[in-house]
Amino acid sequence: MVFCCTLQSAQAELKIAIQADESLLSSTIIQHTLNDVEALLSEATNLSVRSGPKAEAADVLLILPSASELNPFPEFGNTKSSFAAQKDYPYLDYPDHDFTWSSSRDGDQLLLQLESPSLQGIAFALYGLLQEQLGFHFLHPKETIIPDLQSWPLADDFKWLSKPRFHKKGFHLHTQHPLELTEPLLDPRYPNGLQEVKTYIDWLMRNRQNYFEFCLLTSINEKTWPAHAKQFVDYAHERGIMAGVDISLHMIQQKSYQLYHTPPKSFKNKKKQIKKSLEWLFQADWDLINCEFATAEFVGGNTKKKEEFRLYMIEQVEAYGAKLMGRQHVVKEDNEVGGRDKHLVLTEAQEELDKKRGNMVHTVMCYALEDTLAPVYELHDFSHLLADLKKDLKVRETWYYPESAYWVTFDNSVPLLLLPYLSARLKDIELTHQLGVDGHLTFSSGWEWGYWMVDWSIARWSWEEHINGATQENTPLEYVAAIFDEQPEVNQLLTEILYLQNDYFLARNMMRYLCPSSVPEELPAPFNKQFQPKPEQPYRYLYSKSTEQEMKALAKDIADLDAYVEGYMKACAKLPLDQVRETLYTRPSSGDIRAEQLLDELLIALDVTHLRVMHRVYTLGALKAQRLQKLQESPQMPSKSDYLGMAEQIRLEGIELVRQQEQRYRYPFRTLSTRRWGHTAYHYGYLYPVHELHFWAREEGQIRKGKFSPFYKSIWNVPRIIGLID
């Protein structure tokens, strides 16, 4: 059930009505939207809100365009929008959906007139009015904050133009990982699973998104799953949202769904297998297929054969009325295993066919396209991706494909609440909008521990707002601050922590110590590929082979971590948190209790992040003490044992906060945090490593025992993850 926080009084008197003609009401897009909007406004005003073709006696009348005023456009067809008209390459089209609300007064009645060219635009306009102007907050699929509308908050001469920054905007749920909706999307038997997916689709619509996709896995039941998929794809279309699915040609890692198999699993012709797999897949009416053509990350080569299959798939997918897209990986070709066929040349006909394929330029973690330092996947920065994006924009449909969280050994599995995701995503949105990028697809990896605010902010930034002719400027924390609009101290604290994290975690690259070591980092060369920020030397080397000079460099880094701790504590000392919580609890509107709970969630997440930094100060201190004792042959104070004792105490404090946070999880605890069978290669929920702060304890044990093998206290079934076993 979706939880709603209601700010209302028993005697609310504001009466709102919606004028819509009968032909408009025949659209499922409008039907679903009006049913939802009427219920939301009724709860906010404590009065029934109705829609219909006749103007009603109401304080405020919302007047929707008639169906005859809309631009002719099939719901998902080939008629060109203004976006498509600017392109000279094949394009997945969608109706224009900008809108304008204008208010005027007719006696005692305020009239709010809507102009928009499409059914989708009308739906977005209604939800936009609620969230951007009337104080509703659609912050999470399971949580909505509803204001107390005792009076109309907008001026009589109000005019608001809202324009999408991107033609297509939405979210990729990375269900190769055990996230909130992995099982509901992949398992028709999951309790209430279809409704969970529909609730998420509703959240997308409320936040004015028009596309969603997820990863399909080989572990689904091929007999029963297509009917399940058809139900939520049809529902997405009823709401005006396009649906896509992420599959692979033959990716072997993380149970990715494969279009063809190789011997001994199958000896059939590969193109025939692809054709049959697509026939099976299109039992649901997908709008887009996002296909991975590599065998695994960091694996290249065999370019000629992959290009042959890609060209074949373009025609096959197009026959179903859908678009084929692929992704531009963050990995540079020079770092791929297997190399590339540099002499591959397409014929003129093949080049024209290839233009029908779209590209998604992918970046990872909390780094932005123009950041001078993005030390991930064997890279220094993302300049090559920005160059590829600009180049591809000239020849094919191109989307930007960044992340709002990164699971396995980075943020929400540690856990860390990294506010730089907000500043990085906003910078990239403004940059890619300026460049004219066609679509923005956010790679989403879980919503707990405050990560809902990243997805929620990204969705809202995908629109550009103009109030009475003035363009509204965006800031990283604007939407979170609006929840606590009467507590400016909260925004001040979050702003200071954002500055600290950008400075210490990113600019000074302290993230290389806050991330637990990934499995590849602990393997010997040439398998020790970098995925995330990491120290210049592996911990095994620092523990047993490092020089005194290297220990001095480590000491400097520990001092930087300590400086973050000091800065965080100073920032928190400025904010009388107990007073803020008390104010939130005692304000007349009972719904603000939920605002207090959201504040607690964010503060606990930031406190655990702070404790993680402290934990690394002590574990790295223990490593340094161990090594210096060997180098100098004299006792170190404090000793390794002293440091590890302090680290353990910090970890136990962190677990206490984890237990508090777990009480607020919005999906079942067993699904998120326990060992269990599931469809992914990971037989536990994505917050399982958080439950006992697994990575923190593992680091203590590694330094205590001098064991830096990737198999020491490992929770990863590596053969299953990389596809060697089922």
* All domains of the chain in start order, with CATH: 3-163 (3.30.379.10), 168-476 (3.20.20.80), 489-721 (no CATH)
Q: Does position 577 have pLDDT exceeding 50, yes or no?
A: yes
pLDDT, residue 4, reads 41
- pLDDT confidence of residue 348: 82
CA dist., res. 593 & res. 584, Å (int): 6
* 211 burial type by CB count under 10 A (0-12 exposed, 13-18 middle, 19+ buried): buried
Residues in contact with 422: Cβ distance below 8 Å, sequence separation at least 6, in sequence order? 453, 454, 457, 476, 477, 498
Sheet of 143-146: strand order equals 3-6, 143-146, 137-140
Whole-angstrom distance, CA of residue 391 vs CA of residue 685: 39
What pLDDT is stored for residue 8 in this prediction? 38
Interatomic CA distance for residues 626 and 639, integer angstroms: 7
**pLDDT at residue 91 greater than cutoff 90:** yes
C-alpha to C-alpha distance for 380 and 229, rounded to whole angstroms = 40
Report how far residue 614's alpha carbon sits from residue 459's, in angstroms, rounded to the nearest whole number.
34
Q: Which DSSP string do the residues of 518-577 spell out, in sequence order?
A: PTGGGSPTTS----S---SS-HHHHHHT--HHHHHHHHHHHHHHHHHHHHHHHHHHTS-H
Euclidean distance between CA atoms 134 and 600, whole angstroms: 25
- For residue 713, give the nearest of 681, 678, 689, 684 by alpha carbon: 689
Statement: residue 1 has pLDDT above 70:
no
Strand partners, 51: 18
Res 296 pLDDT > 60: no
The least confident of 206-220, 300-314, 584-598, 697-711 is 584-598
Round to whole Å and give the CA distance between 693 and 391. 44
Across the chain, mean pLDDT equals 91
Residue pointed to by tokens 């590829």: 388
Instruction: Examine the pLDDT at 335 and tell me if it is beyond 60.
Output: no
Burial 97-112 (b: 16+ CB within 10 A, else e): bbbbbebeeeeebbbb
What is the share, in percent, of the chain residues with pLDDT greater than 70?
92
Alpha-carbon distances of 294 from 94, 252, 326, 388, 723, rounded to whole Å: 29, 9, 10, 18, 14
428-436 average pLDDT score: 98
CA distance 442 to 461: 12
Residue 164, SS3 per DSSP: strand
Residues 47-67: what's their mean pLDDT?
90
Per the structure block, which two tokens stand in for 463?
A: 């629109």
pLDDT at 324 over 80: yes
Q: How far is CA 139 from its chain centroid?
A: 13
Write the CA distances from 597 to 32, 41, 580, 664, 667, integer angstroms. 30, 24, 12, 8, 16
Name the pLDDT band for 12 (thresholds 50, 70, 90).
very low
CA–chain centroid gap for 174, Å, is 9
- Output 500 or 293, whichever has higher pLDDT: 500
Cα–Cα distance, 361 to 323 (Å, whole number): 16
- d(Cα 487, Cα 544) in Å, to the nearest integer? 51
Which two three-digit tokens encode residue 175?
């269900």
Contact 671, 685 (CB under 8 A): yes
pTM of the model: 0.94
DSSP-H helix ranges across 107-176: 119-128
Instruction: Tell me the helix, strand and coil percentages in the chain, rounded to 5.
Output: 45, 15, 40
For residue 353, what are its two tokens? 């066919």
Tokens coding 311: 């060209």
Rounded alpha-carbon distances, angstroms, from residue 703 to 8, 519, 521, 693: 56, 17, 16, 16
Lowest mean pLDDT among 174-183, 244-253, 431-440, 520-529: 520-529
Give me the mean pLDDT over the 676-694 stretch.
97
Give me Rg for the CA atoms of the chain: 27
78 pLDDT above the threshold of 70: no
Neighbours of 327 (CB within 10 A): 21
Confidence of residue 597 (pLDDT cuts 50, 70, 90): confident
Least confident interval from 6-10, 485-489, 499-503: 6-10
Range of lowest pLDDT (56-70, 166-180, 623-637): 623-637
